[in-house]
Structure formats: C-alpha cells, structure tokens
Structure 1
Amino acid sequence: MRPIIVTGTDTGIGKTIVSAALVQLLGARYWKPVQSGLEEETDSDIVARLSGAEVLPEAVRLSLPASPHISAEAEGVRIDPETLKLPEISGPLVVEGAGGLMVPLDDETTFLDLFARWGAPVVLVARTALGTINHSLLSLAALRAAGVPVAGVIFSGEAAPRVERTIIEMGGVAHLGRLDRLDPLTPDTLRAAGDALDLAAIRAAMEAA
C-alpha cells in the first residue's frame, strides 16, 4: 500500500483537518515533510491532538510562517529536495504538503515536483467557496501534466452541489466526500464527519499506485 498525499488548492483550506480525518479512518501514521511556522500549534501537533495517532518528525522545521524557500532563506539554510524521501514504514501513511502544488521548496523545485518523484496518489482538498472551480481545475491539470496519480477531490466547507459537480465532471476525478466546518472541532466530531468520506476509494487508490 502506497502512502496517500494530501494537497490543496491553497493554504488554510482544511488540508490538516482532512489529513487528521484520514489518519483516523485509515489507522495511519502522519508525516509533514516541511513545516514553516513554529510559533503556533503546528500541523503535526493538530493531527496528533485530533487523531491520537503516531506523527513522524518533520524533515524540515522552519520558524517563519511563509513559503518554505523564503523561510529557509531567512534562516540561512537551504532545503535539499533530494533528501525528502517518503518514509519506509509498514502500514498506511498520510503525507501532507504545504500550501498548494506550486509552493517552492527552493528556487527550482516545487511540491508538485516532489509529488511527481514520489509517485504516490494524491487527494486534492478544495474549498466550496467562490473561486474554487478555477483553482481546482488548474491544480488537477497540473497534477495530470506531471504524471501524478489523483485519487480524487475532498471538498471543504458548506455543500455546493453544482460547484462540486462542475469540478468533478470537468476535472474527470472522483468525488471523495466533503468535510463541513466543525464547531467544536474535536476527535469525536471529526470521526463522525469522516464517515462522509469515501474510504473505499481512497484505499483502492493507495493499493493501485
């Protein structure tokens, strides 16, 4: 079984919450290869709190909450993308990217380049709000052009059936479910919301890759 990679059309759209839900559902471990911003609760901290699962240490930890290549430059370091390899572990693994696909790791390499090298299936997290059709279809086109296997799209936010259908049909991908905004956001409410996700399709993508 290959890992499943969670990416998004933008930053702050719910990738970490989706990742925590998948960790719960799959009984998986979690890995965030690059963390930019350490002052507040990190994505790894959030997933650990919501899922109770094992979280693997980040390969790169940067203090400044910015694009990784800018954060690294501010700290006088350089991220070497060649050193970022998928962990070799037994059992399912959920890997979360940073921001969107074209976020740079250095001045030459993006997360999309990294995903293409890894060859693991990707779940795209997309908002249901205004602007999501353009962002989602561009992201799906970029994934396909890079030869990255796409498991499907998980939507984040209030239901927008017509918008969701447009992205799924024009993007030619599977609808893997939707997570609404959860208030309160707890392990129990996340577990209940996770029932709306198509776990069978996600497992099939991980096994087929």
Structure 2
Amino acid sequence: MNKTYFISATGTELGKTWLTAGLFKACRDQGRPVRAIKPVMSGYDPARHEDSDVAKLGAGRTAWSYRAPLSPDLAAAKEGKSIDFDALVAWSRDEMARTEGLLLIEGIGGVMVPLTSRHTVRDWIAALDVPLLLVCGTYLGALSHTLTALAALRELNIRPAHLILNESFGSSVSIEDTLASLTPHAGGLPIVVLRRDDAAGLARLASIL
C-alpha cells in the first residue's frame, strides 16, 4: 500500500532530519519499502554533500538547493532565483506517484517558513493533502511555538496525524513537563514522545505509519 507522510516542525533545528532518517531506517529494518526525500534545502554546499540533510536520508541530490543558510525564498533570491510553487507541488506529487510503499517528505524549517513571496511550507502541506508529522521541541518557549504552529495549520484545515515531542539538546525544561503542559492544549492530537536515543520509539512509530 502506498502512503505519504510530510514531516515538518514548529521551527528549525528541531529534529526533522533526525526523525525522517530514523523512520527510514526503522522501516527498512522492518522489511518495508520506503523512500525519504527533501525537495527543498538551503545552506547546501555541493562540496560537502555527504554532510547535508539530503545525504543523511540516502536521497541523492535535492531538487531545489541553495547555498545561503536562509529561508528558501531569501536563499533563492541570493542566487537570482525563485521557487516555482506549482512546480514544487507537481514534483512532489510525481514522487508520490512513483513510490512503492511509504514515502517520507521532509520539509524545510517550520510550517510558516516562506517558500516564495506568496507561499509558505504550510501551503505546500495543504496542496499535497497528506498526513503530517509535526516535530516540536522541549526548549524554553517551545510550548508557545507549538501552539502557534497548530493555530496556523488550523487556518488551512490541517490537523497533524501526530505531534512528535522531540527532546531538545541542553533544554532547561524536561520532556515530562513539556508533555504535561502541552497535552491539554493539543486538542486531542496524538503526541509521540521521542528522546534522541530512542530507537525503540522510532520503530514503534514506524510500525503505525
């Protein structure tokens, strides 16, 4: 059965690539057909491809890549380019159509990161209309960022399939306290708690996708 999940986050550097790569490996270990792609990437140095997010996914080269470590719209503009949103959606759908089994699409930055002067990652998610895994952190301020992201998603009738509460490095707030505060505000969304060393948790999540 073919299925696609979009993996996004409430901000940047929260563990999207870690989660995508981990789910990819877990599915492979379970003998399931799976692909992982990252269509848009900034801060990409072709000379250090092996260190890039897309390389960590075993996905080869990304389709839209820019050198500057900025939001995609700004990174593209630095090179005199722009992202064609319709082309991005069409490319993503083509990847979905040609994938046998599970496809993991990793977004870029948070859900409200601009892709163009008119579109954000949120619009990309809405256009594809596939289940969303939304990664959130445990750092101080993460609760506000998470609830703000959920409110923005609701404006386009996007309800994440799962919230992934991913332990932030060096956080002064525990994952338990974050979960306790977030749960009553999450509108009944399933919340999956994952620490960075939780291979068993990744395997359990992979098994229900």
Matched ranges for 1:59-208 at <5 A: 59-85=63-89, 86=92, 87=95, 88=97, 89-157=99-167, 159-172=174-187, 173-180=189-196, 182=197, 191-192=199-200, 194-195=202-203, 197-201=204-208, 203=209
CA–CA separation in structure 1 for the residues paired with 2:60 and 2:100: 13
TM-score, L = length of structure 2: 0.82
Name the residue aligned to 1:206: none
Q: How many residues align?
A: 187
CA–CA separation in structure 2 for the residues paired with 1:90 and 1:199: 16
In the alignment, is the contact (CA less than 8 A) between 2:37 and 2:57 conserved in 1? no
Name the residue aligned to 1:3: 4
CA–CA separation in structure 1 for the residues paired with 2:63 and 2:131: 20
CA–CA separation in structure 2 for the residues paired with 1:23 and 1:162: 29
Shift of 1:150: 0.9
CA–CA separation in structure 2 for the residues paired with 1:168 and 1:12: 22
CA–CA separation in structure 2 for the residues paired with 1:162 and 1:10: 20
Shift of 1:177: 2.6
Shift of 1:109: 0.6
Name the residue aligned to 1:185: none
- Cα gap change, 1:168 to 1:123, in 2 (>3 Å): farther
1:43 aligns with 2:53: yes
CA–CA separation in structure 2 for the residues paired with 1:95 and 1:168: 26
Contiguous gaps of at least 5 residues in structure 2:
29-33, 169-173
Shift of 1:42: 1.3
Shift of 1:38: 1.6
TM-score, L = length of structure 1: 0.82
In the alignment, is the contact (CA less than 8 A) between 1:30 and 1:56 conserved in 2? no
Q: What secondary structure sits across from 1:83 in the alignment?
A: helix
CA–CA separation in structure 2 for the residues paired with 1:193 and 1:199: 9
Matched residue type, 1:194: L
In the alignment, is the contact (CA less than 8 A) between 1:7 and 1:96 conserved in 2? yes
Shift of 1:194: 2.1
In the alignment, is the contact (CA less than 8 A) between 1:36 and 1:71 conserved in 2? yes
Shift of 1:168: 2.9
Name the residue aligned to 1:207: none
Name the residue aligned to 1:22: 23
Contiguous gaps of at least 5 residues in structure 1:
49-54, 183-189, 204-209
Deviations 1:158-206 (A, max 9, x none): 65223113323311210123133x5xxxxxxx745524x53454x2xxx
CA–CA separation in structure 1 for the residues paired with 2:152 and 2:103: 24
